[in-house]
Amino acid sequence: MVKSLSPKVTTLVEQESNTNTAPFLPRFIETLEYYLAIFESIDETLPRDRKERVNVEQHYLAGDIVNVIACEGTERVERHELFGKWKSRLTMAGFRQYPLSSYVNTVIRSLLKCYSKHYTLAEKDGAMLLGWKDRNLISASAWHCESS
């Protein structure tokens, strides 16, 4: 579907978590570990009484968690997949990765240091991985279609 739009660049930013096809127990454990890291990172960077934090926790994160854990079938719309699956899917559809910018990585890395030493930024398989301590949280990559 994305390819039919003939984009010059497609940017993929996705939670680095595997909750799409896993049965309930592994999905529950994956969700627990993933959101533990998310909440831990938020806890270190934003005071608990900040309006922005409360809004993110109540209106975004809580809904995602409930949907991943409590819903099945068509009711479950939050289906995170690891970058490797997205990479395979996009490659099969005729997309090729754009190389990452070392300048952008340097700027992001310096910004992250302003918040906490526990944030990590790594490059793997052509993606930028934002993490908290030893856990990758978000992958980001850029793609172009060979025929575009």
pLDDT in tens, 32-69: 999 999 999 999 989 899 999 999 999 999 999 999 99
- Residue 77 has a pLDDT of 93
Whether 19 has a pLDDT exceeding 80, the answer reads: yes
Q: Is the pLDDT of residue 148 over 80?
A: no
Q: What does pTM read for this prediction?
A: 0.87
Question: Quick one: average pLDDT of 78-100?
Answer: 93
Residue 147 has pLDDT above 70, yes or no: no
Per-residue pLDDT at 124: 92
How far, in Å, CA of 125 to CA of 32, rounded?
A: 26
Q: Where are the domains of the chain?
A: 8-145
**Has residue 99 got a pLDDT over 90?**
no
Contacts 24+ apart (CB under 8 A), 35-39: 35/61, 35/65, 37/131, 37/132, 37/133, 37/135, 37/137, 38/132, 38/137
* Per-residue model confidence as pLDDT tens digits over 101-141: 889 889 999 999 898 999 999 999 999 999 999 999 999 99
CA 53 – CA 38 distance, rounded (Å): 12
